Structure 1
Amino acid sequence: MAPWLLAITIASMVPPTLAAEPVIGGPCDGCEEVFRGQPAATSSTARIAPEGEKGEPLTIRGTVYAADGETPAAGIIVYGYHTDASGVYPSGESRHGRLRGWARTDGQGRYEFSSIRPAAYPGRGVPAHIHMHIIEPDVATYYIDDIHFTDDPLLPPQVRRSSDQGRGGSGLVTPTRDETGSWQVRRDIVLRRNIEKTQ
């Protein structure tokens, strides 16, 4: 086989990378999944769990700030995924499951997800959580601290104590119910806070 044909054949067997931006902040198993299925256009409001998904309704709101912690950051993509009401990641096109979504911050740095409240992993003693990632377009991607709920009996004391040292700010949230009974939480994010700048 001619060398040029061999090179083309080998290249066609290597799966293309999903990462559009480099992963920073240390090793991240599955960080490339933030790009799998990412919609071409995103708004500041999005869904993680589709309407009609079994579980208690949950709304996640927050503001993304620049590294100074004060200036709202527009155009940042916030990605989240979590388990279903039984504590498993329902199968989908990604290893993150099908309960996943992307929101792009508005001019005031705001984002919002509609979803359900996730359940803890069955029989593992791990508190319920929502995985969160940031995509800074044309710059980098990295994971930030998971959302953990202060009313979760499985939440370890060390998570409460270390919440101020979180990646991207604290992921510890206190859920409240609105007049319809839907859960509400706020997760503000500071870009690159406690994120190492090395790959």
Structure 2
Amino acid sequence: MQAPTHDGTGGREPRWAVPPEGGWTADDLDTLPNLPPHTELIDGSLVFACPQTLFHSRAISFFGEYVRAAEPSALETISRFTIDIDRHNRPEPDVIVLPRSVIRSMDQTRAPADSVILLIEVTADETLTRDRETKPVKYARARIPHYWRVENHDGRAVVYVFELEPATGAYTSTGIFHDRMKVSVPFPVDLDLTAITPPRRAADPQ
């Protein structure tokens, strides 16, 4: 997809910017006008975010809050913040954990991928292939040691946990968690996954 621009004629129809030869770059995300919120750069192409489902919104809030509470004081948890993998790849993971020392100012718009310790993606129908196949390859290449993928299975959260295998440079599965998630790396976390989608309360009696 490409970035919408306007021709200055006062018309309502946008015209679409033509990408430069070789595609957009990571720096372009900070300078292209009129980009929708949460635009990512994948292989030099702009990827626009679709409206969030309630599951997606709740899961991001849940992991942002509870991973932040569990992390050591030297680390920082940030939701929906872009990371630089290379010149043509600047994705926006749903949650990242990285050293506080990487955060230089409140005006910062991205972080280097090789500083990320843990990365969490919450899948949606339109992002499932990217989150299962495309992005993990890029995250592994950036040497991000821990990757969690959160999926909605019939209204319940399932978390797939991966750790980077040093010898191969690829992720290996270290667990699949349904109602409760308990891990010791990259730091101890014990989560009640049923809290992401609590059962509906019965309607109050009239």
Normalised to the residue count of structure 2, the TM-score between the two structures is: 0.25
TM-score by length of 1: 0.26
